[in-house]
Amino acid sequence: MRRSEFERAVRGEFGSRSAALLTDLVLPAVGGRTAAEALEEGVPPREIWLALCAETDVPPERRYGVGRLDARR
């Protein structure tokens, strides 16, 4: 997962709450950091996405393959 895919996935799943979740919610799975801190420190976006999903109870069927753009035709 690229950072741009991560950002699209977060916006798509959490909408207007996205910015607050990225800066306020502490994620134990990424060392007790917020998503923003983890990104800044080089944690892979996919790892952060999965930690964010687990912490906020996003159903598994909405965790995988999100954030990708549709293929160009």
Helix 45-55 to helix 3-14 angle (10° resolution) is: 20
Nearest 5°: the CA angle 45, 56, 54 is 60
- Residue 70 clears pLDDT 80, i.e. is over it: no
What share of the chain in percent tops pLDDT 90? 78
Give the tens place of pLDDT for each residue, 51-67.
999 999 999 888 886 66
Number of continuous H segments (helices) and E segments (strands) in the chain: 4, 2
Q: What is the pTM of this model?
A: 0.86
Measured distance CA(7)–CA(3) in Å, rounded: 6
pLDDT given for residue 57 in this prediction: 94
**Confidence check: pLDDT of 69 > 70:** no
- Which stretches within 1-73 are classed as H helix? 3-14, 18-24, 35-40, 45-55
